[in-house]
Chains A and B, each alone.
Chain A
Amino acid sequence: MSAEFLAPGLLTSVQDGGRHGSRALGVRLGGAADTYSLRIANLLVGNDPGAAALEITLNGPTLRLQRAATIALCGATIDAHADGIALPGWRPIALPAGCTLTFGTCRRGARAYLAFDGGIDVPVVLGSRSTDLRGGFGGHEGRCLRAGDLLALGASTVPVTATAAPRIASWWIDAGSDLDFADSIAVRVLPGSDAMQPVDALHMQDYAIDAASDRQGLRLRGTALQLADAHERISEPVVPGTVQLPPDGQPIVLLADAQTVGGYPRIGHVIAADLPRLAQRRAGQHLRFIPIDQAEAQRANAAQQTRLARIAVAILDRQRRSLL
């Protein structure tokens, strides 16, 4: 059973928890740019948290469901309707077969995640269902969705209550402080291997997000930074969150589609707990960096995992009591 795409949206792709284990071949991690929202969307429909879902960017698709489904929509706040009925985010919604889902634009944030019970049934390539858009493999035929595509959905894992019209749960999950859609936000950053001149130059200004940003990285615009030691570097490993400094002095913060190695100096690393907030930045919005040390970063990540675990327990409790 499939979802039929009537309109694709700006950039809609299949993404999961990422492709681990092939970086030695030059294969990037990929996966959802905002894994926090992906995980909650999956939990809400009874899936494994890292299951494949749709990542919708800025402007969403229109699709018709060929089977009844429980869906959840997390991440960016986006206009969404099922057969004309407005759909709220962060809760399970039961939809009948034949229902048409229409998405408009993201009101807050840049990326929304649409999870289906049973997940998305695309082939596992190198251990993941994620679309590697540059490599042209994984996901749905190695590319973003187009009008006319039939996207295979997995077999439903939760009993879908027979319903003639959309049924929306009366409870929802509060995303809390792990996401922040304000115009200007702060993210916490660890030092990189390359120091700047002056050393704290990265932390002293407000950066604007450039329109050339994508899943690979956020391109920042501010007062150009200078390195204490500007000699050419050899290519070394980089990770999502790495802050690179190209010769023009304008930093790039790498996201999920970070390449495996890079030759630009690494002047910092945004902590893992703040990557979801980075992934929700839009062109024209702003960003500040706050220095943090390794022990604080580990505590921040552990605290986010604890919040996610609590959310998972709360969702399971409602599912057990069959509260839709």
Chain B
Amino acid sequence: MSACRIEFLGDAALLLRFGDGIDATVNRHVHACAAALRVQAPGWLVDITPAYACLALHIDVVRIGGDDALAATRAWLDQWLERTRFDASDANSRTVEIPVVYGGEYGPDLVAVATRAGITHEEAIARHTAGNYTVAMLGFAPGFPYLLGLDASLAMPRIDTPRTRVAAGSVGIGGAQTGIYPQAGPGGWRLIGRTPLRLFDAGRDPPSLLQAGDRVRFVAIDAATFDAMDERAR
């Protein structure tokens, strides 16, 4: 495995750090480590938050007891990391297709993204649908996927003043990242389209359409297809 550093995240969590930037290999190590920890499932581990380059282990310090539960956990982790080999290949990841209506009322910022890139909005759609994306993590909101793999020409800074309401299913660009808003709410990413799929439903099993490590492809659809597929309208 690649080198890993253990840091404190407050007094009830540790951070296992595999890197500092956005990098597909580093991210695969993060998720391989999270998977291995889920299999190991030590009783004091109450939750895991995998991110781009590190993962947080949330620890039940009461269960461990003693005056320095975190130091004891850290010592255990040091040994566990020493003897554990992670499978950081992406050979088994599945591909999920996300249908999207691009532009117009569904993606009010598509023209701005295309203009900034110096291309037509048809070309911007072609570049966005040509991408092979990977879910680097879910976060910010339940089921919100941070996707790696955006064509560099489509990168664009967030809007200065976030919108107070972004429609559920909106596909956005924030810097070099692209993602999808699962719920309606405030948001600062550039909106280029919208999917009729429901990304998160707490009552569904599994609740999240996407999992970290999934590969994603966007498929352009028209408004009539959107209406026919709209999972939120049912």
Contact = CB atoms under 8 A, between A and B. Distances in A.
Interface residues of A, number: 44
B52 interface: yes
Interface string A280-313: 0000000000000011011101100100000000
A27 interface: yes
Given A23-B47, A239-B58, A301-B61, A190 B10 contact: yes
A135 interface: yes
Interface stretch (B92-100, B109-117, B201-209, B218-226): B201-209
A302 B67 contact: yes
Contacts of B69: 298, 302
A297 B11 contact: yes
B183 A260 contact: no
B10 A137 contact: no
Contacts of A298: 11, 61, 67-71
Interface residues of B, number: 50
Contacts of B140: 26, 235, 259-261
A145 to B, nearest CB: 19
Contacts of A24: 34, 47-50, 138, 212
Given A20-B58, A190-B10, A298-B68, A237 B15 contact: yes
Interface in B123-152: 137-144, 146
Contact of B9 (A21, A132, A237): A237
B66 A302 contact: yes
Interface in A1-32: 20-29
Given A235-B52, A237-B49, A272 B58 contact: no
A135 B138 contact: no
A25 B139 CA distance: 7
A26 B62 CA distance: 25
Nearest to A25: B208
Given A235-B51, A237-B49, A237-B51, A25 B142 contact: yes
A135 B141 contact: yes
A89 interface: no
A190 B48 contact: no
Interface string B190-234: 000000000010110001100010000000000000000000000
B46 A234 contact: no
Interface string A254-271: 000001110000100111
Interface of B: 7-13, 15, 20-22, 34, 46-56, 58, 61-62, 65-71, 137-144, 146, 183, 185, 200, 202-203, 207-208, 212
The 5 nearest A-B residue pairs measured at CB? A269-B10, A237-B56, A137-B202, A261-B139, A237-B49
Interface of A: 20-29, 125-126, 132, 134-138, 142, 190, 193, 234-237, 239, 241-242, 259-261, 266, 269-272, 294-295, 297-299, 301-302, 305
30 contacts: A21-B47, A24-B34, A24-B47, A26-B142, A28-B142, A29-B47, A125-B203, A134-B183, A135-B183, A190-B8, A190-B10, A235-B139, A236-B52, A236-B54, A237-B13, A237-B54, A239-B12, A242-B10, A259-B139, A259-B140, A261-B49, A261-B51, A261-B139, A269-B9, A294-B8, A298-B11, A298-B67, A298-B68, A301-B11, A301-B12
Given A126-B207, A137-B202, 16 more contacts: A20-B46, A25-B142, A25-B207, A26-B138, A125-B203, A134-B183, A135-B142, A193-B15, A235-B52, A237-B49, A237-B55, A242-B10, A269-B10, A294-B11, A301-B61, A302-B66
